């Protein structure tokens, strides 16, 4: 199990939301690049998860300067939020993104997802964000009637390299991840799955290791790191057993 620290950017600052609510924001750093350097310095390898929160609402990339800054700092990263055009995928990959995370556009336009996977094989992940088992879009502001497992299967069939599964009700709450929902998604597809949302303790990371046999090989951690619930070194040790 690999640890993936999260850096969410809104208004140029490093923030965290609770359950995707833009009115429940905590600012943790005025400099998201410096924060990413801290996390990656402790991590030593792997990847940083970058979320463009402004982009998720507007449908455009709002953090291109920060992406180039991350590349100049030699920080490997994946990025998602508001990426809804092939041109935008090309832009963020040129800026240094190792993976591009699609969400709303992947759900609304399956042909767009298929084309992106064809042009950039192995580089396209899909952020599957769910509330009560149903897919949510537009920065989690819009709910659908699409079951998460059904969408996961469509994503895998389209050629996505990975699914990042987030239970919105758990995200930012430090109440523990939704292990069973993540397991259900992973068992329904044949591609790797990243667990996201609600990690609060070292015990959560140990429990996540039980999902590895089902195809879950990464765990994104945000608020727990920012609040000092544990260190990245402790998280890595728990993830590796």
pLDDT in tens, 149-161: 999 999 999 999 9
Residues 73-92: tens digit of each pLDDT: 999 999 999 899 999 999 99
Q: What is the rounded average pLDDT for all residues in the chain? A: 92
CA distance 234 to 101: 27
pTM reported for the whole predicted model: 0.93
Across 44-58, 135-149, 185-199, 215-229, least confident range = 135-149
Average pLDDT over residues 185-203: 95
pLDDT band of residue 172 (cuts 50, 70, 90) is low
DSSP state of 209: G
User: Residue 138 CB: number of other CB atoms within 10 A?
Assistant: 17
**8-state DSSP, 11:** T
Residues labelled as active-site residues: 8, 129
| Section 86-113 average pLDDT | 96
Average pLDDT over residues 164-192: 87
Residue 173 clears pLDDT 60, i.e. is over it:
no
At 62, give phi and psi (nearest 5°).
Answer: -110, 5
- What's the confidence (pLDDT) of residue 157? 97
Say if residues 202 and 234 touch (Cβ distance below 8 Å): yes
CATH code assigned to 2-240: 3.20.20.70
CA–CA dist 77, 133 (Å, integer) = 28
- Predicted confidence at residue 174, as pLDDT, reads 65
Write the Ramachandran bin of 156: left for phi over 0, alpha for psi from -120 to 50, otherwise beta. Answer: alpha
Q: Which two three-digit tokens encode residue 29?
A: 């750093």
Looking at the predicted structure, is the pLDDT value of residue 171 above 70? no
Say what the pLDDT of residue 9 is.
97
Q: % helix / strand / coil in the chain, to the nearest 5?
A: 40, 30, 30
């Amino acid at each position: 199990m690999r640890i993936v620290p999260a850096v969410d950017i809104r208004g140029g600052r490093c923030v965290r939301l609770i359950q995707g609510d833009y009115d429940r924001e905590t600012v943790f750093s005025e400099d998201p690049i410096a924060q990413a350097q801290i996390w990656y310095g402790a991590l030593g390898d792997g990847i940083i998860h970058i979320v463009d929160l402004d982009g998720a609402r507007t449908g455009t990339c709002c953090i291109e300067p920060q992406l180039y800054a991350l590349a100049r700092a030699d920080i490997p990263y994946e990025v998602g939020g508001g990426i809804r055009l092939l041109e935008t995928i090309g832009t963020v990959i040129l800026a240094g993104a190792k993976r591009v995370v699609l969400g709303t556009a992947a759900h609304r336009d399956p042909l767009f997802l298929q084309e992106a996977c064809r042009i950039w094989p192995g580089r396209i992940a899909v952020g599957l964000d769910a509330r009560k088992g149903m897919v949510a879009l537009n920065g989690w502001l819009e709910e659908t009637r699409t079951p998460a497992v059904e969408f996961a299967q469509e994503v895998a069939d389209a050629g996505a390299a990975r699914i990042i599964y987030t239970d919105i009700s758990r995200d930012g709450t430090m109440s523990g991840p939704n292990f069973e929902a993540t397991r259900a998604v992973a068992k329904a597809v044949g591609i790797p799955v990243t667990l996201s949302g609600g990690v609060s303790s070292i015990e959560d990371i140990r429990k996540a290791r039980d999902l590895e046999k089902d195809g879950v090989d990464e765990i994104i951690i945000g608020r727990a790191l920012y609040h000092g619930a544990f260190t990245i070194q402790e998280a890595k040790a728990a993830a590796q057993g």
